[in-house]
């Protein structure tokens, strides 16, 4: 089987996880270049993973000299569009990068258009779909054991740009990839707009999909805490409601089902949570599925950029609905308006103490050890 050559930029926390997922598919990929502005980081990575490949501090030099088939960049959202533009410049046909996919809507649209127009197979890392409890939830929704799917709920403790983009993608996934028609939304709280993942402190929205299913998403401090003795970052729940019952799955491993298959009683359980699974179980199949797509599998990767863009567009529509006090129909026709985060900075009412660091403001239990 042909191996895909890969060059990776950004070897921080997530970059190492991507690298590991690629190396755990040794028949499918060959790493031919690494890049980070920090040479010490690259040195440690090469030692840890026993890699003897060219290392660069300049990403364009890496692409020019290595000419990879796959360009993986794992940096902050300020380095997304410019990386896609580099991929186009060097004729690269596959890019893999992190969420949130962009800094604003106009940028997300440009990135998606560039990838589509240039035949670039792009994936945005909404990878929690590979958690076993998430896969089981999807099977339950598809098998019919919950009846006809009517409503899908996502509840996330972290704010929108952290987990909202993930769980919006999972709502679309659980609903079979169907597109949204109309969206309404509410936002409040300016404190987390200052975070390196800017977001309102809380967002809630409702989505009407083309197949009639309703989606509901809430993110931030006001969302229900399901497991107060767990990390807040992983206290995120996706619930699928059908005409016969419901089932849910969480990032931290918990799951539940109440349906005819459980004799109408709520049955609950726990899989190993995110911190145990993120490398071993998630990133490896993520990159296996990507190699299948690159090899010509007709099914696009479940984290493909066009689906990610639709999720981004729905979240944007929730923000616009909240700011303009009206329903927003999709697709959006125009992206030339003032970015919603800039508007929120001006328009969202402040409250006493909102100048504190968001994690101090909504403190309590971000640092709790995970129960298992």
Ligand X SMILES: NC(=O)c1ccc[n+]([C@@H]2O[C@H](COP(=O)([O-])OP(=O)(O)OC[C@H]3O[C@@H](n4cnc5c(N)ncnc54)[C@H](O)[C@@H]3O)[C@@H](O)[C@H]2O)c1
Q: Which residues bind ligand X (CB under 6 A)?
A: 9-15, 35-38, 41, 59, 74-77, 79, 98-99, 125, 127, 197
The residues with which 220 forms a beta bridge, in sequence order, are 202
Q: Using the minimum distance from each CB to ligand X, give the nearer residue, 98 or 218.
A: 98
The conformation of residue 283, written as its DSSP 8-state character, comes to I
Q: How far is the CB of 162 from ligand X (least distance, A)?
A: 7
Q: How far is the CB of 148 from ligand X (least distance, A)?
A: 32
Q: Which residue's CB is nearer to ligand X, number 18 or number 28? A: 18
Closest approach of ligand X to the CB of residue 38, in Å: 4
Residue 92 gets which letter from DSSP?
Answer: -
Residue number with the smallest Cβ distance to ligand X: 12
Query: Which is nearer to ligand X, 173 or 246 (by Cβ)?
Result: 173
Is 183 buried (19+), middle (13-18) or exposed (0-12) by CB count in 10 A?
Answer: buried
**What does the angle CA 116 – CA 181 – CA 300 come to, to the nearest 5 degrees?**
35
Max CA-CA distance within the chain? 61
Sign of the four-CA dihedral 279, 215, 313, 173: positive
CB proximity list for 264: less than 8 A, separation 6 or greater: 245, 258
Q: Give the tokens for residue 320.
A: 């616009």
User: 213 or 236: whose CB is closer to ligand X?
Assistant: 236
What's the Cα-to-Cα distance from 325 to each of 310, 312, 317, 328, rounded to whole Å?
21, 19, 11, 9
Min separation Cβ 225 and ligand X, Å: 20
Q: Considering beta carbons, is residue 57 or 268 the nearer one to ligand X?
A: 57
d(CA 189, CA 324): 16
Question: In the bound complex, what is the minimum distance in angstroms from residue 278's beta carbon to ligand X?
Answer: 7
Q: How far is the CB of 149 from ligand X (least distance, A)?
A: 26
Query: Is 229 in a helix, a strand, or coil?
Result: coil
The full DSSP string for 105-170 is HHHHHHHHHHHHHTT-EEEE--GGGGSHHHHHHHHHHHHTTT-SEEEEEEEESS-IIIIIHHHHHH
Nearer to ligand X, 11 or 323 (CB): 11
Q: Which is nearer to ligand X, 79 or 354 (CB)?
A: 79
Q: Least distance to ligand X from the beta carbon of 351, Å? A: 26
């Amino acid at each position: 089987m042909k191996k895909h050559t890969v060059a990776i930029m950004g070897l921080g926390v997530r970059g190492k996880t991507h690298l590991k997922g690629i190396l755990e598919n040794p028949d499918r990929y060959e790493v031919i270049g690494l890049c980070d502005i920090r040479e010490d980081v690259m040195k440690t990575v090469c030692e840890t993973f026993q890699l003897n490949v060219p290392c660069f501090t300049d990403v364009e030099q890496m692409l020019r000299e290595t000419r990879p088939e796959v360009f993986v960049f794992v940096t902050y959202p300020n380095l997304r569009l410019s990386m896609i533009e580099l991929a186009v410049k060097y004729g690269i046909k596959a890019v893999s990068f992190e969420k949130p996919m962009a800094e604003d809507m106009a940028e997300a649209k440009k990135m998606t258009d560039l990838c589509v127009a240039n035949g670039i197979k792009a994936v945005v890392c909404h990878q929690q779909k590979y958690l076993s409890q998430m896969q089981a939830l999807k099977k339950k929704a598809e098998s019919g054991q919950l009846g006809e799917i009517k409503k899908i709920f996502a509840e996330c403790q972290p704010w929108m740009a952290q987990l909202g983009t993930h769980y919006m993608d999972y709502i679309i996934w659980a609903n079979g990839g169907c597109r949204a028609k109309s969206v309404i939304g509410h936002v409040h709280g300016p404190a987390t707009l200052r975070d390196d993942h800017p977001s309102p402190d809380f967002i809630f929205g409702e989505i009407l999909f083309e197949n009639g299913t309703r989606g509901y998403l809430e993110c931030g401090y006001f969302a229900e805490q399901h497991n107060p003795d767990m990390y807040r970052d992983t206290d995120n729940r996706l619930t699928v409601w059908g005409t016969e019952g419901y089932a849910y799955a969480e990032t931290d491993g918990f799951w539940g089902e109440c349906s005819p298959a459980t004799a109408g009683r709520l049955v609950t359980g726990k899989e190993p949570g995110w911190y145990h699974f993120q490398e071993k179980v998630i990133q490896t199949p993520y990159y296996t599925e990507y190699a299948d797509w690159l090899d010509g599998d007709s099914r696009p990767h479940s984290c493909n950029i066009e689906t990610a863009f639709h999720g981004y567009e729905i979240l944007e529509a929730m923000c616009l609905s909240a700011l303009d006090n009206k329903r927003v129909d999709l697709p959006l026709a125009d992206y030339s308006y003032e970015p919603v985060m800039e508007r929120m900075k001006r328009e969202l009412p402040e409250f006493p103490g909102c100048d504190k660091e968001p994690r101090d403001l909504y403190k309590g239990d971000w640092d709790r050890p995970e129960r298992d």
